[in-house]
Structure 1
Amino acid sequence: MDELVLKFQGIPTTAISDALDGLFNLDPSIKPLKEEYSFAGRALTVKTAVGDNLAVQKAIREAKEGDIIVVDAKGDQYRAMAGDFVVGMAQTMGVAAMVIDGVIRDVVAIKGLNFPVFAKGTTVAASGKAGVGEINVPISCGGQAVNPGDIVVGDADGVVVIPQAIEQEVYEKAVHKIKKDEEREAKISGNREAIIAFIDKNLGQ
């Protein structure tokens, strides 16, 4: 895993989103199965037909340690892109997380794996295996463009994509945002007069 990805592991998605002016967030319906899940890594993208997960399995086979499998399942919520068996294979192959614009099944068993899965929800229906799909191509996931190798970060608040061309700049802006927030909190929190002054300033008074 490269150094910049490791740095992003300690940055909240909220700070990254602010650094990106809120322009690169996945749809908030894509949520972690457990609030404590978080990840940062580079995207291994999957484009697949609705209800067909063979391309997901191909991505698992080709994944490098620390990759994030990001699946464009067209938002379909009827057929699962993965169950506990597929997620378990991804975990064994060193995938760091799965982000699915669609749904999963076997939710209790997947939670038992303690592996970060972010999806729109759960279903009972299995996927097909027709094999329609591609990996490592530009996709749309949760209404956001994702290119192979983009840094993807997820936590309890959601998922954000960082385009490769601006990843260093975004990291620096996010760190600066965190520092400014900490300074503001130290100055204002617990101080009634400071809180009133802060709100009045925002209100233009």
Structure 2
Amino acid sequence: MTAWSTDDELFTLAERELFTCVVGDIMDKLCLFHQFLPPQIRPILNEAIVIGRAMPVLGGNVFEESSPGSANRLMEKPFGLMLEAVDDLQKGEVYICTGSAPRNATWGEMMATRATKLGARGAVLDGYYRDTKGLIRMNFPTFGYGSYGQDSAPRYKVHDFRVPIEIGAVRIHPGDIIFGDIDGVCIVPKEAEREVFSKALEKARGEKLVKKSLEAGLSAVAAYSEHGIM
């Protein structure tokens, strides 16, 4: 039996007791070796934590805000489906996007305001965010390459959302769990989430005992021999 019965309970447990290192360690043991997003995806503030269900968004480069007469009617629409994607966020979800060259911001304060109203839990970007002071004031968990004010309107459109995406070596499906902190962002496949988080909680609690043993003077070799954790 797991220590949680709802997503809210799991997310609260993870925020209180877990960190990405221990979750990643457990996934390694389960042969899920490629679950961390690239290390340049960093929190807007060191203390920021994001955890929630993935709502993947796929975008791409464009070179003008609107292209009338294109074979693709989406090219006539500023931002493509970006605003529709934000409006489709559900309670407990995290907006996660990729697909374009990192030459503009793909998230900002107005999007975060709408996402907060819908109960979303954060944004993870394979690129930049902007309106950084506003995002910090809102305390909205945002992860990306950093802040960059250049607008997306003539440079970027969302093509689709709620579809599988890939960032680095990681494939992200709708409903996977995103967990991020100062050490990075990892993706927990939904089919493995109960085993991963149950074992991660067990390991995190065990590490506290190991730390006490080390503080008391036990050697690293002896502590590992006794607890099987390091």
On whether the aligned pair clears a TM of 0.5, the verdict is yes
Is the contact made by 2:98 and 2:165 (CA closer than 8 Å) also made in structure 1?
Answer: yes
One-letter amino acid of the structure 1 residue matched with residue 130 of structure 2: R
For residues 167 and 149 of structure 2, the distance between their equivalents in structure 1, rounded to whole angstroms, comes to 22
Task: Give yes or no for the alignment of 1:25 onto 2:36.
Answer: yes
SS at 2:160's partner residue? Answer: strand
Describe how 1:66-145 pairs up with structure 2 within 5 A.
Answer: 66-74=92-100, 76-128=101-153, 131-145=157-171
Do the aligned partners of residues 103 and 73 (structure 1) sit closer, same or farther apart at CA in structure 2, a change above 3 Å counting?
farther
Deviation at 1:60, TM superposition (A): 1.4
How many angstroms apart in 2 are the aligned matches of 1:120 and 1:197?
38
What is the TM-score normalised by the length of structure 1? 0.85
Which residue identity does 1:13 align to in structure 2? T
| Cα pair 1:77 1:121 within 8 Å, conserved | no
1-side partners of 2:159 and 2:49: how far apart? 27
Work out the CA distance in 1 between the residues paired with 2:147 and 2:161: 23
Q: How many residues align?
A: 198
Give identity over the alignment, percent. Answer: 27
2:55 alignment partner in structure 1: 44
Q: What amino acid does structure 1 have at the position aligned with 2:144?
A: A
Give the alignment partner of residue 153 of structure 1, picking from 167, 179, 182.
Answer: 179
In the TM superposition, residue 161 of structure 1 has moved relative to its aligned partner by 0.5
Map Cα deviations across residues 68-88 of structure 1 (whole Å, 9 max, x no partner): 1111144x3311102222222
Match of 2:203 among 167, 177, 182: 177
When normalised by structure 2's length, the TM-score is: 0.77
* Deviations 1:149-169 (CA, angstroms, capped at 9, x unpaired): 001111122111100111111
Unaligned runs of 5+ in 1: none
Find the aligned partners of 2:180 and 2:202 in 1 and give their Cα distance.
Answer: 19
Corresponding residue number in structure 2 for 1:9? 15
Unpaired segments ≥5 residues, structure 2: 1-5, 63-77, 226-230
Query: In the alignment, is the contact (CA less than 8 A) between 1:30 and 1:142 conserved in 2?
Result: no
Is 1:168 the counterpart of 2:194? The answer is yes
From the superposition, tell whether residues 93 and 105 of structure 1 become closer, same or farther in structure 2 (CA, over 3 Å).
same
What does the per-residue CA deviation read over 1:118-168, in whole Å, with 9 as the maximum and x for residues that have no partner?
011121210027754111000012441100000111112211110011111
**Which whole-Å CA distance do the structure 2 matches of 1:50 and 1:190 have between them?**
56
Does the C-alpha gap of structure 1 residues 114 and 5 become closer, same or farther in structure 2, counting only changes over 3 Å? Answer: closer
